[in-house]
Amino acid sequence: MFKNKIPLSVKQNRAGWMFLLPAVILITVMNFYPMFNALLLSFQSGKGASLEYAGLYNYTRMFSDKVFMQSMFNCFFYLVIQVPIMLVLALILASVLNRKDLRFKGLFRTAIFLPCATSLVSYSTIFRSLFSTDGLINTVLLKTGILQTAYDFLGHPMSARFVIIIALIWRWTGYNMVFYLAALQNIDYSVYEAAKIDGASAWDSFWKITVPLLKPTILLTLIMSTNGTLQLFDESVNLTSGGPGSMSMTMSHYIYDTSFRFVPNFGYSAAMSFVILVLVMVLAIIQMKVGDKRD
């Protein structure tokens, strides 16, 4: 009698799942299970461990919470101003540093990327020192006669927000530049040489060759930057402490405060976390629909 032989495709499928199973279990236990519990927690209200089912109370409460609405406004303010400037700078720098005739480009690439390797707490502390009333920026402005008295950059809402924007641009431009440099390596340099022979200027080559061919990478960095900005935490906590008042506070900073700094309100914090998740998802979908024009 012939034994029933298991097809090779079935064996390969089983072997693949055996390799994947440990990772699937870990991801489920460490990620999806806590997310599901957080979703259930968002429908509960109370202080500390005394929680009761409250329906949609936590979600409706946000609309009357002035601090949360301010923190949401701040996040979108950073998103609208910082992300476009950062990505445009990263794209320009990548185009310049991709030129074959540029000398010491390895040194320039390293120098521009280096801020990304700096500790988030360290660089926030450095910028806090730079923009303090007795910091380097005020010293230079006073010495050059631009200011007559020291300006409290971190004590005014608008200037405090722009300090965060400057810090974010300084740190993350090099990070995005690396993505663009990697994508530019896949563009044959002969395309630029042919365009130059045809009389195309540097601007024409950049706008009609570089940008169209880098659209997938630009879309990727845009989604990642949007995600990171809406979840901004370290700069708000360590650079401005959310101040003055809550005028530069981010949503993640406020969630941290309501969870650990003030009387714990884990249900409300969980609800705010899921609002951030929904915002990130909606913006990512919109960006993919608008930016991805493939047939």
CB atoms closer than 10 angstroms to residue 198: 9
Residue 186 maps to a domain: yes
Residue 12 in any domain: the answer is yes
Q: Pick the closest to residue 246 from 70, 28, 2 (CA basis).
A: 70
- Residue 289: per-residue pLDDT: 83
**24 & 107 share domain:** no
58 inside domain: no
- CA-wise closest residue to 228 among 292, 178, 172: 172
Residue 191 within a domain: yes
**Is there a domain that residue 280 lies in?**
yes
Same-domain status, 43 and 173: no
Q: Residue 141 falls within a domain, yes or no?
A: yes
What span, in angstroms and rounded, lies between the C-alpha atoms of 165 and 78?
A: 6
Residue 57 host element (H or E):
helix 57-61
- Indicate the SS3 state at residue 52: strand
Same domain, 91 and 48: no
38 to each of 44, 50, 83, 169, how far by Cα in Å? 10, 16, 29, 33
pLDDT-flagged residues of the chain (< 50): 1-2, 295
42, 187: one domain: no
45 and 127: one domain? no
Task: State the total domains in the chain.
Answer: 2
Report the distance separating Cα 81 and Cα 98, nearest Å: 26
pLDDT digits (tens, 9 = 90+) for 189-247: 788 888 888 888 878 888 888 888 888 899 999 999 999 999 999 999 999 999 898 89
Residue 294 has a pLDDT of: 55
**Domain assignment of residue 3, yes or no:** no
The range of the structural domain enclosing residue 187 comes to 64-291
User: For residues 214 and 234, what is the distance between their CA atoms, to the nearest angstrom?
Assistant: 30
What does the pLDDT read at residue 48?
Answer: 67
Give the C-alpha separation, 185 to 191, whole Å: 12
158 part of a folded domain: yes
- The reply to whether 249 and 104 lie within a common domain is yes
Per-residue pLDDT, 50: 77
Residues 43, 68 within the same domain = no
Domain match, 283 and 208 both:
yes
| Per-residue pLDDT at 292 | 66
By the 10 Å C-beta count (0-12 exposed, 13-18 middle, 19+ buried), 266 is classed as buried
Q: In terms of domains, do 278 and 183 share one?
A: yes
Q: Are 264 and 50 in contact (CB under 8 A)?
A: no
- Look up the pTM and report it: 0.87
| Nearest-10 Cα torsion for 139, 141, 145, 147 | -100
**Claim to verify: residue 26 and residue 151 sit in the same structural domain:** no
**Same domain assignment for residues 146 and 20:** no
Domain containing 117 — which CATH number? 1.10.3720.10
Are both 41 and 120 inside the same structural domain? no
| Per-residue confidence (pLDDT) for residue 61, from 0 to 100 | 92
Query: What pLDDT digit, counting tens, does each position of 118-127 carry?
Result: 888 888 889 9
